[in-house]
Each structure stands twice: as structure tokens, then as C-alpha cells.
Amino acid sequence: MAKKFIVETSARHLHVTKEDLATLFGADAKLTNKKDLSQPGQFACAEKVTIVGPKGQFNASILGPERNATQVEISASDARTLGVTAPIRESGDVAGSAGCKLVGPCGEVELKEGVIIAKRHIHFTPADAAEQDVKDKDIVWVRVDTPERKLIFGDVVVRVSDKFAAAMHLDTDEANAAGCSGEVYGEIVKL
């Protein structure tokens, strides 16, 4: 039987560059760790911004640490609320993606691109990947076993690094479709 791994809901959020952080929150701004996340070194920040699109807006938390490119990760429902066409992409693949405006307490940043719907994915260490018999960039099926909405997700990309901890990430729409609440586990299945 395949080893199970935690399935987490990755709510709307953004990653920012040092430069964009300074524009949004002031020249000496630093990200404030509000809560550590499952991936080593990653954390939810106290800092929030307003994401503005042609049709609507909402607030979202920044995740730290700072990145080399500003990126907004939303769900398909969020994209409709904003009025943007956000492609489904792996994190970091923002070329030609949707744009938006970010509004902070000290300024605004106009993104020409950088808004994506994150492709569902699993983080594995090399040892986890070997145990699961998968490798980096493999596409797999994952069964999520919830009490009332069991679901098998296809098109799940495997991401392998010694900097990761085993966890699958779904956006809010996907998690709601499977009734994910509380502690939920998944397993790779062969179809």
C-alpha cells in the first residue's frame, strides 16, 4: 500500500520581492512571521495587501520569505471575482500570465503578469519520492479520502527537493470540492 501524505489547502496568497515589499509597506519593511508553514523556511506573514482586478478585489496574505519575482496565487473562483484570466501553472511560471494591482498601506504595485492558479502538486523529499516510486515533474493521480466527498485528483505534479516536506497542496476550490476539512490525507493511485 502506498504511503499517505498530508493534503493541505493553499488559500489565496502572494509572494513579493524586496522591492515590491518596500513599495507596499515602506522602505524599511520586513516580513513578519505570523505562522510557520509545512514547507521548511516558509511562513505566513502578518502583512496583507489588497489584490485589485478589473471587476473586483479582495485581501490576501503574503507568504515569506521574499522571492525574486512577485507572484499572486488564487483559485478559479478568485479569478472570476477579480475579472482576470489566470492560467493554471506551476509556481514561478508566470510569463504571459494575468496582471493585477497590489495595494498596501504605503503604495501600489501594478503587475503586468504574475497572477496564476497554482497547479495542484505534491512536495516530496528525494527519499519520499523514492518510497512513492515517483520522480520530479511526474504527473500522478491522488485519492483524497474524506468522510463525505472522496475524490481522485488527476494532473498532480510531483515536485522533489531536499528542501521540501511531504505535503500535497490544493487551492480552495479543489479542497472544497473534496470536502477537505481538518486533517486530510492522500495517496498516489495507479489507474
Same domain as 147, residue 77: no
User: Which of 99, 117, 135 represents a domain boundary (last residue)?
Assistant: 117
- Tell me if 3 is assigned to some domain: no
- Tell me if 2 is assigned to some domain: no
- Tell me if 63 is assigned to some domain: yes
Same domain as 170, residue 87: no
- Tell me if 33 is assigned to some domain: yes
Same domain as 113, residue 142: no
Given a contact cutoff of 8 angstroms between Cβ atoms, the answer to whether 138 and 154 are in contact is no
Strands (E), 56-174: 57-64, 71-74, 88-89, 98-103, 108-118, 121-124, 139-144, 151-160, 167-170
User: Which of 117, 137, 153 represents a domain boundary (last residue)?
Assistant: 117
Q: How does pLDDT run across 40-77, given as a tens digit for each residue?
A: 999 999 999 999 999 999 999 999 999 999 999 999 99
Kind plus residue range of the DSSP H or E element containing 184: strand 184-189
User: Which of 98, 117, 136 represents a domain boundary (last residue)?
Assistant: 117
Return the DSSP state at 119.
Answer: P
Same domain as 45, residue 98: yes
pLDDT mean for each 10 residues of the chain (191 residues):
88 98 98 97 98 98 97 98 98 96 98 97 97 97 94 98 97 97 93 72
Same domain as 56, residue 95: yes
Nearest residue to 167 via CA among 113, 123, 109, 136 = 123
- Tell me if 170 is assigned to some domain: yes
Given a contact cutoff of 8 angstroms between Cβ atoms, the answer to whether 65 and 41 are in contact is yes
This model's pTM is above 0.85: yes
Residues 6 or more apart whose CB falls under 8 angstroms from that of 72 comprise: 12, 13, 14, 51, 60, 100, 102, 111, 114, 115, 116
Given a contact cutoff of 8 angstroms between Cβ atoms, the answer to whether 180 and 146 are in contact is yes
Query: How many domains are there within the chain?
Result: 2
Same domain as 129, residue 110: no
Nearest residue to 64 via CA among 131, 14, 8, 127 = 14
Range of the domain at 50: 12-117
Same domain as 110, residue 60: yes
13 Cα distance to chain centroid: 7
- Tell me if 4 is assigned to some domain: no
Same domain as 94, residue 124: no
- The pLDDT assigned to 2 comes to 67
CATH number, domain of 157, equals 2.40.40.20
In the chain, the percentage of residues whose pLDDT exceeds 70 is 99
Same domain as 131, residue 77: no
- Tell me if 102 is assigned to some domain: yes
